[in-house]
Amino acid sequence: MEQIVKDLIALTNFSDQDVQLLQQHAPKLQSWGGELVNEFYNTLYGYESTGKVFRDGEREAREKTLRDWYLHITNIDHVDAQFWQQQWIVGLVHITRGVTNPFMFGMTSRVQQFILRKCAEEFEPAQALQIYSAFKRLTDVIAGLIAESYFSSYVEAMEKVGGFKLTLIKRMIDLEINTKLKDSRK
């Protein structure tokens, strides 16, 4: 996981200045939490495909989880291995709940769009861009980490449950992907 985080941080250009900027504006960002959570879950429950992920009567608990996550990421004083490990675990939870990466990326985009809209309403343009960009870089790293956790953990689980070695799984996947690529060129 360490190399994945390092790569994502380098490629998104996420920095300690982003953390400081988010923390500096945490009171304003956090004041949007209730509205964000409401919009987030109205979207999920209102769309048939994502609505199927939920069990009856769990919305309040899911809203609390999202609210706590949002409050945490908008008021961090530093990021460390433990912070990234917590985000990695979200990918594991997504596997058990049937939250696919397309659902996760789609809703990450919705969260980012919400923050962009709120920043544009509340701050001068240059400041809005800075704050939004810091938030976007952080959530891009988190989304990449969740997606990789989902994928890596899924393959590792198959390896353990099926008794296959990872190298064999990789060769089997490569063969199948090469076949699909060959077929797509016909």
Tell me if 1 sits within 8 A of 87, measured CB to CB. no
pLDDT above 90 for 149: no
pLDDT band at 164, cuts 50/70/90? confident
Q: What percent of the chain has pLDDT over 70?
A: 100
Q: Taking the CA of residue 82 as centre, how many other CA atoms within 13 Å lie in the half-sphere pointing to its CB?
A: 3
pLDDT (tens digit, 9 = 90+) per residue, 127-136? 999 999 999 9
pLDDT above 90 for 98: no
Segment of 36-45, 81-90, 153-162, 177-186 carrying the highest mean pLDDT: 36-45
Residue type, 147: A
Q: Which residues contact 92 (CB under 8 A, 6 or more apart)?
A: 149, 150, 153
Query: Domain ranges in the chain?
Result: 2-152
Segment 166-170 shows an average pLDDT of 80
pLDDT band at 150, cuts 50/70/90? confident
What CA–CA distance (Å, rounded) separates 130 from 18? Answer: 9
Quickly tell me which residue has 């953990």 as its tokens.
153
Q: Which CATH architecture has domain 2-152?
A: Orthogonal Bundle (1.10)
pTM: 0.88
